[in-house]
Amino acid sequence: MKQTLAKFKNSGLRKFIRRHQKYAPILFFIGGFIFDTLTLGRIDRLYDLSVLCLHMTSLSITLYLFNLVDDGTWKNTFLERFEIYFPLVIQFFFGGLSSAYVVYFSRSVSLSRTASFFIILVVLLFANEFLKKRISNKYLQFSIYYFISFTFFSFMIPVFIRQMSPTIFIISGVVSLACTLLLITFIYRKSPSTRAEIHLGKLTGIIISIYILINTFYFFKLIPPVPLALQTGIVAHNIVAENGKYVVTYEEKKEFVFWRDHSSKFIHNPNEPVYVFSSIFAPTALKKSIIHRWEWYDEKSEEWIVSDNIKYDITGGRNDGYRGYTYKRNIKSGLWRVEVLTEEELLLGVIDFEIIENPDQKPQRLVKKSF
């Protein structure tokens, strides 16, 4: 009875997949994306590390199994009945691993300078849905795999060694490059159909080109500095430390402003300092120096003028981010922004605000909140 039921379920699932073959890969991709979005929290948790490592390992194994299907390697083995699912499993893990990247970076207050990187991420991940051969296109398949591998190691290596720097980023890329080329070479040797379909030199050139492109983006500061992320950024009237927390006093937002909990308008009283508070996510035991770069917009020259670079250190491990603040006196009215940067000047986020003078010192609607 159990065997009959299992065959029925297996048969029903196979029929469903064949009937919806056109849409099944994207559904599995979205399924992997949603799964990690709902379950992942912080990159240094044991659960998160285990899930991501399991995803990456399973993806690599499934790619190997899938690329040997056309050679009849799995005929008359227990794997033969699962061959139809291999492309869907690959899509699921592509979705799961890419969602991790998005989840961890969605913490950032501003992605204004790094939006182009995410556009490339989306294009690479969804490109297979618009190509004729879809996931069976080996050039596309291994290109996406390498991109996913690079982002995976760029998260994992800094977490495990508790350091981050341009050198660590380069090492992450080299490790992912070596792992990807090793997998491709192994499949190429084992699979005659793969040797007939791809030119190894061409595929290697594509992978190396992606490696160079990602590093170019990094050194032009177009990639967020993984695994750090700016969680909160507020311009404030006052900040005091009480019982291990920072009490931040800031302008109340307008009712229709739902995308932030503070106002970007700062009503400035004479001789009053202006504070900028930020909290930054950093994995446990990872130490880093952070810079608040204060910039004022000169309307005459239509340029941002650097006013101050103020540095402070952070140490990771706090769920709500490592907190810190800087302040300025004798500040001009007009548009301001504070760029939150690493010591290598990689952008974590931007805190925009406008200084409006209040010579009569009319009362403002202020809010106090503990962080």
- Tokens 């799964």 — which residue? 35
Span of 30-34, 58-62, 290-294, 333-337 with lowest mean pLDDT: 30-34
Rounded alpha-carbon distances, angstroms, from residue 136 to 28, 90, 133, 139, 347: 16, 11, 6, 9, 37
Rounded alpha-carbon distances, angstroms, from residue 369 to 245, 275, 361: 10, 14, 23
| Gap between the Cα atoms of 232 and 109, Å rounded | 7
| Gap between the Cα atoms of 349 and 117, Å rounded | 15
| Residue-level pLDDT at 363 | 67
* Mean pLDDT (whole number) for 212-232: 80
| Residue-level pLDDT at 64 | 94
Q: Is the pLDDT of residue 134 over 80?
A: no
H/E segment holding residue 291 = strand 287-298
* Mean pLDDT (whole number) for 120-146: 67
How does pLDDT run across 160-216, given as a tens digit for each residue? 887 778 888 899 999 999 999 999 999 999 999 999 988 999 999 999 999 998 888
| Residue-level pLDDT at 188 | 93
CB atoms within 10 A of CB 312: 13
Residue type, 191: S
| Residue-level pLDDT at 109 | 45
Average pLDDT value for the chain = 79
Q: Under DSSP, is residue 180 helix (H, G, I), strand (E, B) or coil?
A: helix
- Tokens 């890969």 — which residue? 25
The torsion region of residue 321 among left (phi > 0), alpha (psi -120 to 50) and beta comes to: left
Q: What domains lie within the chain, and their CATH numbers?
A: 12-219 (no CATH), 229-370 (2.60.40.1930)
